[in-house]
Amino acid sequence: MSIQAEMEESVAYTPLQRMRHSASHVMAEAIQEIFPDAKFAIGPAIEDGFYYDFDLPRPLTPEDLPDIEQRMRRIIKADYQFKNDHWPREKALEYFRAKGQDYKVEIIENLPDAEVGIYQQGNFLDLCRGPHIEHTAQIGPVKLMRVAGAYWRGDEHRPMLQRIYGTAWATQEELDQYLWRLEEAQKRDHRKLGRELKLFTFSEDVGPGIPLFYPRGEMLRRLMETYVRETQESYGYQHVWTSHLGKVHLYKTSKHWFTYRDDMFPVMKGDQEASEDDGYILKPMNCPHHITLFKTQMHSYRELPVRYAEFSTLYRYEKAGVLSGLARVRSLTQDDAHVFLRPDQIQEEFNKAVNLTLEVFDTYGLKDYWVRLSLRDPQKKADYVGSDEVWDSAESALRGAVERKGLKYEEGIGEAAFYGPKVDFMVRDALGREWQCSTIQLDFVQPMNFELEYVGEDGQPHRPVMIHRAVTGSTERFMAMLIEHFAGAFPVWLSPVQAMIIPIADRHQEYANKVLEQLKAAGIRAELDTRGERMNAKIRDAQMQKIPYMLVVGDKEAAADAVSVRLRTNVDLKSMPLTQLIERVSGIASSKSMEL
């Protein structure tokens, strides 16, 4: 956040944000007590908390936080009033210069106002537009979370400051719930579970942001992609395949080159060394390729809509600082689809795309989501391709389709793609965190860029409309969300290993192998634990691996052609015939139920 933005956005604070912003000032007063020569930067409220940036005589450590917290509680208890005043800018400059507060001076110098806001509580006076709560005692339970580094104004060439993050809530119960969510999020972290469950890894030898999938991870990918592939086909999509490379001129025609050039990998040699347009790049997006497929053939109005879908690996040069496990990678696989249709088919095709999306969400057990209608920013029209008339038509058509479908939505100004408005489905996981997953984009621009045509009922050429559509978006990102949503305990149909066979002793290996063969023949993904560990240790390890069923076999089970079944939840189903177990697992898996 810029300094100007922080000063301006503070006026829109909600009551909870005002309290958190006030807590940041109290934290600054506590810091001033410890470090009288501290220099203060900014301290806004943020999502779930607040922070303040300081220039201090020594580095802070986690051991400093309890002392700062204790001082904050004393200041809060003292019930100081937050006093507001307005000073002429020259008076403020003189005051903060005399105090050696260089960062406050710089803020004032960059503000256009003749007067600046001043707030004081207790012994701390700060430059601030507010608003704040009335008294420090109105601040609820506070917890300081961590210390981090932050460049002044986000500029790596400016001083590195120390940032203390904290959180504040109206009640202790809310604070406790928030801290529980954080702890649970750490347990569910897909990077941690990815290692523990042997799903994926990263290697510096291969390169950051390029995931490598173990057999279980590959199986999970395959299950996810196969399900979406089959569901798409039931909605009339045809799957295509396009290369991992494309010529630069293709992305210049689509205008992606001019918007996303910095996010693409460098140009590789082409057939003509001197021509940039003739050079190749790793494919960063699919739409120009699918458009090319459509354009190679003549299409009648009767054929439309034409629906192309592809699970394609794309390559984007994300900066190292934003890479985050599977959630942000440099090689990603997208369940991308592009529909070419007549203008009169927009509503029907939009409904199909929504129905497909919601069917997939329902299967995955994702019930909590909301819809964002992403529109262009009218103040930044230069960031978008296409005329006002085209954009007005596209936005009107998409808004109408959303409303006629009966979707409740929120507008996202400035969230549109550069070529058209879109509908984004924002999914909340089991901890209430939001993930952007599905998107449906309406595009009048790319058909113009590529001069697409179809033969109309009148025998004349007409321009089609495009819908860009992704159900789960990036396979990697969606997998990251599923890992954290299910805490690694996937539904039976999605579990890479559905059953672990555990022989009690070496003499039971022969029967265990027979069970394994029968399970595999029935299409059940099973493994056999042949290690020389004790039975209880094998059960515990299988539970840690989140495997749905542990099948213990010994003398009694071998004699009865049965298995002793224990669930990963530690529920003991006792002994049952192997045929009954197969019927149970197969039925639950085929129905894609959330049951065990």
Of the residues 18, 162, 163, 287, only one is catalytic, namely: 287
Active site residue 316: yes
Contact 279, 247 (CB under 8 A): yes
Beta pairing partners, 425: 371
Which residue, chain included where needed, has tokens 């089991």?
430
Convert the pLDDT of each residue in 152-171 to its tens digit.
998 889 999 999 999 999 99
Beta bridge partners of 161: 150
The answer to whether 206 touches 331, Cβ cutoff 8 Å, is no
Amino acid 11: pLDDT? 47
Write out 470-496 in H/E/C secondary structure: EEEEEHHHHHHHHHHHCCCCCCHHHCC
User: DSSP assignment, residue 505?
Assistant: S
From 422, 469, 538, 566, the catalytic residue: 422
**Residue 224's closest CA among 412, 471, 48, 391?**
471
Q: Is residue 249 helix, strand or coil?
A: helix
What's the CATH number for 492-591? 3.40.50.800
Helix and strand element counts for the chain (H, E) = 19, 27
Report which of 349, 317, 351 is spatially closest to residue 331, judged by C-alpha positions. Answer: 317
Q: Would you say 297 and 453 are in contact if contact means Cβ atoms under 8 Å apart?
A: no
What residues does each domain of the chain span?
A: 3-185, 200-485, 492-591
Catalytic annotation, pick one of 25, 163, 188, 316: 316
| Residue type, position 59, single letter | P
Q: Is 422 a catalytic residue?
A: yes
Does the structure show a pLDDT above 80 at 4? no
Residue 3 pLDDT level (bands cut at 50, 70, 90): very low
Instruction: Check residue 158 and report its DSSP letter.
Output: S
pLDDT computed for residue 274 by the predictor = 65
User: Does 53 have pLDDT greater than 80?
Assistant: yes
468-511 per-position pLDDT tens digit: 999 999 999 999 999 999 999 999 999 999 999 999 999 999 99
Catalytic residue selected from 53, 64, 335, 336: 336
> If we measure between CA atoms, which residue out of 365, 431, 358 comes closest to residue 594?
365
CATH code 3.40.190.90 for 3-185: no
Bond preceding residue 284 cis, omega within 30 of 0: no
The DSSP letter of residue 433 is: -
The per-residue pLDDT of the chain, averaged, comes to 93
pLDDT at 5: 39
Q: Which residues pair with 371 in a beta bridge?
A: 409, 425
Residue 460 falls in the annotated catalytic set: no
Residue 287 appears among annotated catalytic residues: yes
Q: What is the 3-state secondary structure (H, E, C) of 270-290?
A: CCCCCCCCCCEEECCCCHHHH
Q: From the candidates 338, 469, 525, 538, which is the catalytic residue?
A: 338
Convert the pLDDT of each residue in 182-213 to its tens digit: 999 999 999 999 999 999 999 999 999 999 99
For residue 76, what pLDDT is reported?
A: 97
pLDDT tens for each residue of 100-140: 999 999 999 998 889 999 999 999 999 999 899 999 999 99
Catalytic annotation, pick one of 104, 163, 468, 566: 468
Identify the H or E element spanning 557. Answer: helix 555-560
**The pLDDT of residue 270 is above 90:** no
- Judged against a pLDDT cut of 90, whether residue 419 lies above it is answered with no
Alpha-carbon distances, residue 537 vs 6, 501, 542, 553 (angstroms): 55, 13, 9, 15
Given the candidates 3.40.50.720, 3.40.50.300, 3.40.50.970, 3.30.930.10, the CATH classification of the domain at 200-485 is 3.30.930.10
Q: Are strands 461-462 and 454-455 parallel, antiparallel or unpaired?
A: antiparallel
Mean pLDDT within 261-272:
84
What 3-state DSSP class applies to 23?
helix
What is the C-alpha separation between 33 and 37, in angstroms, rounded?
Answer: 9
